[in-house]
Structures are given as structure tokens and as C-alpha cells.
Chain A
Amino acid sequence: MEEKITKEFDRSIERMMNENAVAPPFGMWNRISADLDAIAPAAPVAAPLIPRGVLYGFIAGASLAGTLITGLLLFNQSGANKEVALLNTPAPAVVSPENKVSLAAIEKGEEIAKAVYPTIVANNPVEVKATVPVVEVLATTIVNDQKPQTDNESNLDNGNSGETVEAINISSEQTLLEMRAKQLEASVIPASTNAIDDEDDEDKKSKSSVTSYSEKKIKYKKRKSSRFSYGHINRVKRKF
């Protein structure tokens, strides 16, 4: 019985209190607003989500990773370039037996050398003669290495017909000519320059004298140390 009365008592009070609403005094909001104004500027600045140390570490790590990645990419790219270069390398120049006649002429580098550099050859007949056998040997080896190509299956598969082979042969002849000329030039020019140098010995001397100017050592005078001195004090021993 007593429990029942207690429960009813509690419930009735609860109901009355929950339904109860009391208007606060008028100035209450102003007090709260003033409180909020006072708190707002004093509110501490939110600490950064990431500490500085972590941030710097992250930046350093990112830069390191970036360099590593770029390095790796560059390495891969160079490898790829190599592959591309290998793929793009032209097929070895094909020399047909018909072109052997013209190559024979090339083999005799002396004539071409004479035509291109008549004056040099005239001035240095001994050295030119010495280079000619070398050129001849080179030309013969090239001719021997390059065998004539025909329209075989592999060529057809690769898209190299007889016509294209001819075209390649012509172009290869031109390139070979150019190569021979360059080789001759390379073998002849140093000798000529030496000859010229011998002739213009005096000029060389003068040039060397000019170039030696840069090697001159300029002696600088040592700057005196500018220490402030208080002067000398002449101490005189007093005689008592």
C-alpha cells in the first residue's frame, strides 16, 4: 500500500514538474550574451591538427620520395629511350655488287683527298700516303662484311621489297661516301694542322705567350692588420 502511494506521489510530482515552465527574468539573455562576448576573445586558438615536427618530417619525406620517384622515372625513361633507339636504328647499309665499282673508287681515298684538299695533300704528301692504306683496308672490310640482299622471305616479311632495297643501297652509297670523306678528313686534317703549325712556329710562340698571360699569378700585398692600439706607455721606473 505504502509503495503504491509512493509511486503515485512521485509520478504526480514528476508530471507537474515536467510540464512546468517558468519564464526567466528579462535581463537574463543580456547576462548570457555578455558572458559569451567575454568568452569569445579569450577562447584559446585551436592547436594545429598536425604538430610542426610531423609537418616538417612529412615535407622532408615527401621531397625524398619525390626525388626517388623522379629518379626512377628518369631511369625508366632512359631505358625506354634506349629500347626506342635500338628499335629505330637503321638496318646495316646494304651494298650491292653493282655498287662495288663506285666503292672501288672510294677505296682510293687518295684521289678524293686530292680533290677535296688539294693544297693540303700537296703540302703533306707523305702523311696522306700513310693514311691511304688505312682507308683502303677499312673500305675493303666494309665491302666484305656487307653482302648483297635479295627479295627473300624475311625481307618481304619485314616489308623490304627489291625496290626498297635498291633505294636503301643508293642512300647507303651516299652515306658511305660521306663517311669516307669524313674519315679522310679526320686522318688528313691533323697532319695538315701540324704542318701549318710547323710553318707558323713564330705565330704559335706568340700565341703561347698570349695564353700564358692567364697563368700569371697576381701577387696581392698582404693587408696590414688594423688593430687599434692604445699607444705605447713609456714606463719609467721611479727611483725612490
Chain B
Amino acid sequence: MSSIVFQGHSELQIREGCLRGERKFQQLLYNMFSPKMFAVCLRYAPDYNTAQDLLQEGFVKVFRHIEKFRGDGSFEGWVRRIFVNTAIEHFRKQVNLYAIHDNDVKGFEYYHQGALETLKEQDIMNMIQKLSDGYRTVFNLYVIEGYSHKDIGEMLGISEGTSKSQLARARYLLQKMITSYEQKDNSAVKA
């Protein structure tokens, strides 16, 4: 579990150093996880600056509560969970989630399967960021973090139905964006 070695230090050593409050080891932990965690923050945040705030808040939480990690699962998973929870807390008050009627959600009219393969990670990230707070949060929690609608409902204080409808709407908007991006790309190539 602690076989991961980063800059000559094992994960366990880094963790113990952080427990002692040593700044050197805190920085090592930051260097170890910051790229992945920043990507998580970018997915949940509407913009780059908010993602930075989330990253800062998340790492402060990690360093303050590192003694709570019992070593049951992976440390990275524990850190990631803290960041996700930080993001959810950040948007819980702001996000105004409401149930969307099924008729509002249109099917995959324009989307075709190969469209995603032409896109880069950064493009997808930008598209997710363009979603509204509610759609983005539910989409991230369900599709990327793997939570069930029941869990999402409990986390965000909404019903399962609302979570489902939010997800469907988020998917629809994303596919629309992907299709439009593909069309633009194709027209650019033709030109």
C-alpha cells in the first residue's frame, strides 16, 4: 500500500512527516497529489480560479486531518474524497438543483460514438466546466466518482429523481457540445 515512492520517500514516510507537521513532507505530499487533485478541482469548479481555491482549501484540510486516515484504503483515494467533499460543500449552498421533467431531456440526436475520440482531455474538461453548477456536480459524482443516485441525493440534499434528471440533462448538454465541436472541427478541416 505504501510501496509508492516519491522523490526518494515512501508514501508512509511522507504521511508520517505530515503527521509531525514537517513542512518539507507536506510539500512532498502536495507535489505528489496536486496535479491529480487539481484536475478534480477543475472538473467541479466553473472556472480556473475557483479550482485554485478548491485546491488550496482541500490541501489545508488534508494536512489538518491527516491523523484521521486509518490506513484502511488507499491514501490517494482518501485525499481525493476530501477534495470531492470540499467541492460539494463549496457548491452546496450555491447550487440550486431542481428536478427536470423527462420531456425536457432530448435523446442523442446529433451525437455519434466516434466524436469523443477526437477530443483531448482538456477539451472535455472545458466542456464540463461550461455546465451549470448543479449539472456539473451531479455529472462528476455519478460518471467520474462513481456514486449512486442515492448517495448523490444524500450528499446534495436532493431526491434520487432529481439527481437522475440532472445527470440526464448534463449528458445531453455535453453531447451537444461535443457534436458542435466535431462539426466545427470538420468544417475547419474542409476549409
Contact = CB atoms under 8 A, between A and B. Distances in A.
Our verdict on whether A and B bind, yes or no, reads: yes
Interface in A1-52: 2, 5-6, 8-10, 12-14, 16-25, 28-29, 31-33, 35-36, 39-40
Contacts of A29: 27, 30-31, 34
Contacts, number: 86
Contact of B143 (A5, A10, A33): A10
A71 B93 CA distance: 67
Interface residues of B, number: 38
- The secondary-structure label for the interface of chain B is helix
Contacts of B174: 13
A110 to B, nearest CB: 96
A13 B116 contact: yes
A13 B36 contact: no
Contacts of A25: 52
A33 B23 contact: yes
Contacts of B31: 29
B94 interface: no
A124 to B, nearest CB: 94
B38 interface: yes
Contact of B125 (A10, A20, A40): A20
A23 B55 CA distance: 11
Interface residues of A, number: 28
B59 interface: yes
B95 interface: no
Nearest to B43: A17
B52 A19 contact: no
A105 to B, nearest CB: 94
B144 A39 contact: no
B166 interface: no
B152 interface: no
Nearest to B37: A24
A19 B60 CA distance: 24
Nearest to B26: A36
A171 to B, nearest CB: 78
Nearest to B60: A35
Given A2-B108, A5-B111, 10 more contacts: A5-B113, A9-B111, A16-B124, A17-B121, A20-B121, A22-B38, A22-B42, A23-B34, A33-B23, A36-B26
In the complex, the 3 A-B pairs of residues with the closest C-beta atoms, listed nearest first: A21-B35, A24-B38, A20-B121
Interface of A: 2, 5-6, 8-10, 12-14, 16-25, 28-29, 31-33, 35-36, 39-40
29 contacts: A2-B107, A2-B108, A5-B113, A9-B116, A13-B124, A13-B144, A14-B146, A17-B124, A17-B144, A18-B144, A20-B122, A20-B125, A21-B35, A21-B39, A22-B39, A23-B38, A24-B34, A24-B38, A24-B52, A25-B52, A28-B38, A28-B55, A29-B27, A32-B30, A32-B56, A32-B59, A33-B23, A35-B56, A36-B63
